[in-house]
Structure 1
Amino acid sequence: MDQPQKAGNGPILIDMNAGETRYWCACGKSSSQPFCDGSHKGTTDIIPLLFTVEESGAKALCNCKQTKTPPYCDGSHLTVD
């Protein structure tokens, strides 16, 4: 099983609206972080996570790809290299 690559050292804050549905990049290869651009296709077995925003506002989306609460940051970037 492939491991995701770290796309950044901290979360990306994105203003999102309730009901909005997006694909979060789980592999770390997307050039449109934190969202998927299809870069995983043919290069990894990691697939993006489809999620729907429950409440409007700024969301801290994980960019280190190590969160235990995807797609949201849980502070894992503070403990990964």
Structure 2
Amino acid sequence: MTDPVPAQKSPYEVTVEAGRTYFWCACGLSKKQPFCDGSHSGTDITPVKFKAEKADNVFFCGCKATEGKPFCDGSHNDL
């Protein structure tokens, strides 16, 4: 199993649009953090789909260690 690479040790604050679908990078290799750019190709890690129900500011995990994928749960504090 491939281990994800922490992209950063803090969350990404993103303003999401209602009804839009986002794909959170779970591998940490994407150059478009916190979103997938296909860099996971060749690994066994896949992005996590998230559809925003309302326009809002959300905090996507940057360390890739969260239990609440795709959102930050503070796991970066233990890295």
| Normalised TM-score (structure 2) | 0.94
Question: Unpaired runs of 5+ in structure 1?
Answer: none
For 1:4-15, what aligned pairs fall within 5 Å after superposition?
4-15=4-15
Instruction: State the alpha-carbon separation in 2 of the partners of residues 22 and 47 from structure 1.
Output: 13
Question: What SS does the corresponding residue of 2:23 show, helix, strand or coil?
Answer: strand
Q: Distance in 2 between matches of 1:65 and 1:55?
A: 24
Coordinate RMSD, CA, aligned? 0.8
1-structure distance, mates of 2:54, 2:71: 13
3-state SS of 2:76 partner = helix
TM-score between both structures, scaled by the size of structure 1: 0.92
Could you give the per-residue CA deviations for residues 15-46 of structure 1, whole angstroms, max 9, x where no partner exists?
A: 0122110110000000000000001112x110
1:44-75 CA distance string (max 9 Å, x none): 11011111112311110001001111111111
Matched with 1:48 is 47
For 1:66 and 1:23, the matched residues in 2 are separated by 16
**Corresponding residue for 2:67?**
68
Could you list the structure 1 runs, at least 4 aligned residues long, displaced by more than 3 angstroms after superposition.
Answer: none
Structure 2: state its 5+ residue gaps: none
Percent identical among aligned pairs is 48
